[in-house]
Chain A
């Protein structure tokens, strides 16, 4: 813990000119209106790989992201980056993610990696399964490496899907459960990009289901998510 506090508080972030310009440009972009129709918007589905499941101790290893544009996943518009690591994560973790020690130390420097992610993201709303984890990991990394807070609109499929399929809500918890239910194939689990891909497909299913209930924009989806959070908290 002390170690982390020292890392977090002890060092001021210094960006070079180009990095600073790039960050400023991203800040200037205008946010996307959540009232826009799902069929005419760009969303980014994200998944991260980390050195472990501890939100405060573990580090971000890679980010995979896929753009869903006007309801369709653009295969050409996908993003994947491995972040350079100061310490090689333990062996067990390497086996799980397949990111070798070599790749961990050789990856892209954190600031550049995260700026590239922001450049890909623009101000598109973010979608993930169990948002808290991805959100915290990305926020922490951005704050450490870029010295800025990352406040963004997120939609959590872990709440949206139960809201749309109440009869399945009690049975299904994990991304795997939902993906299996809709028979979505994943050829490479535990790769951030492949996981983002199946999450994006799950999002497409969710959008279509919401469309049938006449919910056709992002604000509507956020309302559903909120309602489900409430259901979960009282039940």
Chain B
């Protein structure tokens, strides 16, 4: 009597993972389910009931898992579950009792599946099994598809930059032996109408590449002997990627290195060639062109143009479902290029000349952590060493006006001036290497609120342009000094605990007066702060939050799966934030008007759930921090 369940099906069709299950499996499940009622305050599941016996899905109402402080690492602690959510997955999978008492917060109806049927269903339905075993990862995947669907309208004419290179190879590569004469190679290229020739050894391993633009530069202009072996004028060790690599990776490596070709190599053997033209079909603006344009930009208006291209490209990549980690990598790569070019142009316009090797321009804060979104305030600083006979004050006198102009030009390119004046044009943040060490030392030994605040911005520094060795030296020095100072780390941890993820008691989220959440302050900051402390304690020198978490995990004996869940959560909040900015841009907001405030009610149901889960992960991370520092 499948007719029976039509109204129940409506419910399940609206919630993950049921919406992805085969109808037959869904019916199988529903037929074995019961609907239970729990009046407000009633216990739904508790540790005293022994091994968990029912898989529950909330049809209506809300259930809260009461925190069990003694066992803060347990996956079931601190939960507030609402309509469509399933529990207690961990306990059911592990055949153990739940770790906390689940109580209905309001009058609640739950669908309930007996334990045996739950396990049988795990075997029957792959989407269900996936969901139960990789809850966060799965929701994220799902969300990505929803995002893609939302964006298809704006990018339907574009093929995916996430398609593997193997699908882009149009024909077998044209090759020659390395000893073939230049003349013969040119004749064959002309005959076959190809723009490049790859020299391979007997086993098909690529040795070098010659492309048409090289002909002018390396053959025609220098008028070389056409009978010499071609390998002598080829680009040796050209960039190669495996066939499974994504199109955007090829585009990114072309952009970084300025090449127009990427070899596709499998088991060391050349299997194809992907050219910029192949990728060009996938995008309106080529990544390499953006890179080239930035590198060769002569003035600020050209750079402003590139800044706009970066944004457009980021939008397209978001539309194509490129993951956040890759997207931020993309944005950071190009923003770094852009920033470096602005600094370079200004240095030369200011005729700094022989002073240049004494300088290192640094990115701080989110830029330092590679976490830039489409709109990030600039946070920067300068490190310098003193040339013979110069004082620090004398250096500042020269550098501050230059830095001021750089800050203003960056603002023109879409990086708003820092409201807190954390910029290289501020005399406080234009210091010699020794001055920086003294400043950092003071912060570490004082531990005042101001010092802690500064640490959270400045300790995420990294070099963007100039003599990187200066930043490296400061980094190594800091890693040593900070890891030895446990009192300071303890204070930082205490400070980090002050920013609690906004999970509500009665509603899903605690929101401010305007019914909004601040994704940066409430969502990202807990991860960033904790990662910074872990990395300082473990002596990890990375500045990216993700690398910091990964790098510190082993030293602090944190399980890899736990770290992965934190990273997934962070990335999800990051993607929401970027989408929010992207939508703001689409609405015509200026950079200064973009904010990080979202109304959770406006989110897609799935996103709202993942966001909750992500905040839960933030709480777990904080619990870990508290445990580490006995807070």
Q: Are A and B associated in one complex?
A: yes
B107 pairs with A182, CB closer than 8 A? yes
The answer to whether B1 and A80 have CB atoms under 8 Å apart is yes
User: B30: CB under 8 A from chain A?
Assistant: yes
How long is the Cα–Cα vector from A176 to B87 in the complex, in angstroms? 30
Check A75–B35 contact: CB distance below 8 A: yes
Interface string of A40-81 (1 = CB under 8 A from B): 000000000000000000000000000001011111101110
List of A residues within 8 angstroms of B32 by Cβ: 75-76
Known: A188-B6, A193-B4, A197-B7. A76 touches B36 (CB 8 A): no
Q: Is A92 an interface residue (CB 8 A)?
A: no
Smallest CB gap from A206: residue in B: B37
Task: Find out whether the CB atom of B37 lies under 8 angstroms from the CB atom of A75.
Answer: no
Q: A80 to B60, Cβ gap below 8 A?
A: no
In the complex, the answer to whether A188 meets B107 with C-beta atoms within 8 Å is no
Contacts of B109 in A (CB 8 A): 184, 201, 204
How far does the alpha carbon of A197 sit from the alpha carbon of B35 in the complex, in Å?
10
B3 at interface by CB-CB < 8 Å: yes
Specify which chain A residues have a CB less than 8 angstroms from the CB of B1 in the assembled complex.
78-80
Interface members, chain A 166-190 (any B CB < 8 Å): 182-188
**Cβ-defined partner of A75 (8 Å) among B3, B8, B42, B61:** B8
Minimum Cβ distance to chain B for residue A124 (Å): 16
Number of residues from A at the complex interface, CB < 8 A: 29
Quick one: given A73-B34, A74-B34, are A208 and B39 in contact (CB under 8 Å)?
yes
B112 interface residue (CB < 8 Å to A): yes
- Is B33 positioned at the interface, with any CB of A under 8 Å from its CB? yes
CA distance A208 to B33 in the complex (A): 20
Q: How far is the CA of A73 from the CA of B7 in the complex (A)?
A: 14
**CB interface residues, B 31-79, toward A, < 8 Å:** 31-37, 39, 42, 59-61
**A72 interface neighbour in B8, B36, B42, Cβ under 8 Å:** B36
- 19 A–B contacts from the bound complex (CB under 8 Å): A69-B34, A71-B37, A72-B35, A75-B5, A75-B32, A76-B30, A80-B4, A184-B60, A185-B11, A187-B7, A188-B10, A191-B7, A193-B4, A197-B7, A201-B35, A204-B109, A205-B39, A205-B107, A208-B37
The listed residue with most A CB atoms (<10 A of its CB), out of B1, B4, B30, B60, is B4
Q: Is the CB of B37 within 8 A of A194?
A: no
Across the A-B interface, give the 3 residue pairs with the lowest CB-CB distance, nearest first: A204-B37, A76-B31, A73-B35
Q: Are A193 and B34 in contact (CB under 8 A)?
A: no
List A residues 136-182 near B (Cβ within 8 Å). 182
Question: Interface digits, B239-261 against A, CB 8 Å rule (1 contact, 0 not)?
Answer: 00000000000000000000000
Evaluate contact between B37 and A205: CB separation under 8 angstroms. Answer: yes
Taking a contact as CB atoms under 8 Å apart, the answer to whether B7 and A72 are in contact is no
Please judge, given known A-B contacts A182-B107, A187-B10, A193-B4, whether A75 and B31 are in contact too, CB under 8 Å: yes
Most chain A beta-carbon neighbours within 10 Å: one of B6, B7, B32: B7
Main secondary structure of the interface of A (DSSP, over half): mixed
Nearest CB on A from B581, distance (A): 36
Which residues from chain A contact B7 at a C-beta distance below 8 Å? 186-188, 191, 193-194, 197
- Chain A residue nearest to B9 in the complex (CB): A187
- CA–CA, A178 and B3, complex, Å: 26
> Are B10 and A78 neighbours in the complex by a CB distance under 8 Å?
no
Complex: A47 Cα to B109 Cα, angstroms: 21
Residues in B with CB closer than 8 Å to A185 are: 11, 59-60
List the A side residues contacting B10 at CB < 8 Å.
187-188
A183 nearest in chain B by CB position? B60
Tell me which residues across on chain A come within 8 A of B31, comparing CB atoms. 75-76
Known: A72-B34, A78-B5, A183-B61. 11 other contacts (CB 8 A): A69-B34, A73-B34, A75-B31, A75-B33, A75-B34, A75-B35, A80-B4, A193-B7, A204-B35, A204-B109, A205-B107
Instruction: Give a binary string over B167-201; 1 marks a CB under 8 Å from any A CB, 0 the rest.
Output: 00000000000000000000000000000000000
Distance (whole angstroms) from the CB of B135 to the closest CB of chain A: 24
Chain B residues near A212 (CB, 8 Å)?
39
Shortest Cβ distance from residue A39 to the other chain B in the assembled complex, whole angstroms: 11
Q: Give Cα distance in the complex from A12 to B471, angstroms.
A: 102
A63-112 contacts to B, CB under 8 A, are 69, 71-76, 78-80
Q: Is the CB of B39 within 8 A of A193?
A: no
Task: State the CA gap A188–B1 with chains docked (Å).
Answer: 17
By a CB distance below 8 angstroms, the chain B residues around A205 are 37, 39, 107
Contact A72 B112 (CB under 8 A): yes
